[in-house]
Homo-oligomer: A and B are copies of this chain.
Amino acid sequence: MAKKLYRGALTTIILALLKERGELYGYEIVQEVKKRTEGEWAITEGALYPALHKLEGVGHVTVTYREYKNRTRKYYRLTEQGRAEEANLQAEMESFLQSMHALLNPKWT
């Protein structure tokens, strides 16, 4: 059974993958997440595509269309802004992990 992906983490994941890989198309992101988490997470397309469109809308990614076996792939790539945002979200995620650690493993009572 697929585990919970906390709300707000999806964009962080997308941007992190794009930063690492340079360029990915939507369906590829779904497969990549599934593979890397060994099936723990299944990103739904109903969440992914609107998230990608929003990222495009705010200028964090750009799109290139490429044909492959009669199907169109939309490749996404980080803009400069997107690269900055990726750093922000990465920092936020680390802060989250730290705070979570402080809460669940307290040093002082």
Contact = CB atoms under 8 A, between A and B. Distances in A.
Assembly stoichiometry (copies): 2
Q: Which of A6, A17, A90 has the most CB of B within 10 A?
A: A6
Contacts of A102: 36-38
Main secondary structure, interface of A, reads helix
A41 interface: yes
Contacts of A100: 9, 93, 97
List the 9 closest A-B pairs by CB distance, nearest first: A7-B7, A6-B6, A37-B99, A3-B95, A6-B8, A40-B99, A36-B102, A4-B92, A16-B104
Interface of A: 3-9, 13, 16-17, 20, 33, 36-38, 40-41, 90, 92-93, 95-100, 102-104, 106
